Structures are given as structure tokens and as C-alpha cells.
Amino acid sequence: MIQLTKPLALAADHGGYELKEAVKKHLDELELAYQDFGTLDGASCDYPQIAQPACNAVVNGECSLALLFCGTGVGISMAANKIRGIRACCCSDVFSAEFTRRHNDANALCMGGRVVGAGLACSLVDAFLNAEFEGERHQRRVNMLKDIEDAQAAL
């Protein structure tokens, strides 16, 4: 497991609440720190409002990476990717969870509570956290993503 110097940011809407809670137990077993940005009780809520504070914590350096959950993982990944500096990926297989870190320098892993079970989610988290960005030829592409963000911000 990579050494995290800051806690992970966790957030889920009602559709991802139970999966977030299962991942929290896994993180507790691994003795990894996290900050839970909600929902804290599974009550109905909107994924854009839940994603934003968790992603802001990653962008501002308060947290190292984000683990985000909704019903499919898709909506919360769309919301996360609207935040400048976030590279979120919705994953439901271990290969993608690993290589989105290695090749895309993803800083947010999104999963669907209605798509993956707790066991698979924990495997996805492990793959994501154990992978490190490879840089080199991939850095050029990540820089291109940043250039797109900068161009959009200038509009």
C-alpha cells in the first residue's frame, strides 16, 4: 500500500452510502485515515453537492485522493470532473482502477453501489491506492488535460 501523507476524502450520495460504509471498514482495517464528507446517514441527497467538498479537499491539498460513491458511480464522476484539478474515473474492474492511477494520474476513484459489491469495491480501492503514476509519456497527456481545463477557464 502506498504511504499516504494526508487522509483520503470519502463522499457518497444515498445510492452509494452502503458501499462507502463497507469501504470505510476496509480502510479502518488497513489503518488508513480518511475524512467522510457525507452522506452520513444514507438520507436522499444530490451527488453534485456531495462530490464538491470532497474534491475541493483533494484540490486544496487537505486530502490526498478521493473515493466517491453513488448508485452507478457515473453521476458522481461527472460531478467530480467538473472541479478543476480533479481527474476522476468510474471503475468497476481492477485493471481500470489500477491503470487510471498509473497512466492518467487519477485522483478520484468513483464506484456505484448498485454496480459493484463490497468485496470488489475493496479490491478496486486496493488497486487504486497501490498504483503510482508512471509519468514519462503519460505526463504529456495529463498536461494536455490541464491545458483543456485552462482553456475552458479562460472562456
- Give the residue numbers annotated as catalytic, written as ranges: 70, 103
- Distance, CA of 105 to CA of 102 (rounded, Å): 6
Could you give the 3-state DSSP secondary structure of residue 70? strand
- Distance, CA of 141 to CA of 38 (rounded, Å): 32
- Distance, CA of 135 to CA of 82 (rounded, Å): 23
Residue among 46, 43, 62 at smallest CA distance from 54: 62
